[in-house]
Amino acid sequence: MKRILFINGSPNRNGQTATMAKLLLAGKEYETLNLIDYKIYPLGQSFKDDQLDEVLQQMLRADVLVMGSPVYWHSMTGQFRTLLDRIYDSPLKHRLKGKALYFIFQGAGPSSAMLEAGNYTMRIFCRLFQLQYRGMATSIREAETLGANL
């Protein structure tokens, strides 16, 4: 059985991003990692209580990653962007190779340019580290459709 990890980049543990993940993952067992529960410092800062390694270890144990962020200030949340930045600098990043990745990116009124920028970021992230990008869901209907292929 595939091990699935949902990484929630929303500061709201039970918000629309989590709701869309539940629809995308309906009928499947999965674990949730709420980034708001971890201290992940910005790239270039080094503190003893940084928890990036804990998050990366959970990601490495998964076969499928479902990563989600609401649209905040025309982009991904700060927690989500910081995770991507730190993965880029991690010596473990290439161990993500081959994992499937689904992306949830939603908001109350994002423009198509904002959504495309998020999709572009995740496509590049997957290409850099050789993950299998399975697509982006920006609505409940898209989450249900994308989840049917999981």
The percent of residues above 90 in pLDDT, for the chain, comes to: 80
Q: Which helix (H) or strand (E) holds 124?
A: helix 112-129
Q: In angstroms, rounded to a whole number, what is the distance separating the alpha carbons of residues 56 and 38?
A: 11
For the full predicted model, state whether its pTM sits above 0.85: yes
pLDDT value for 102: 97
Size of the chain in residues: 150
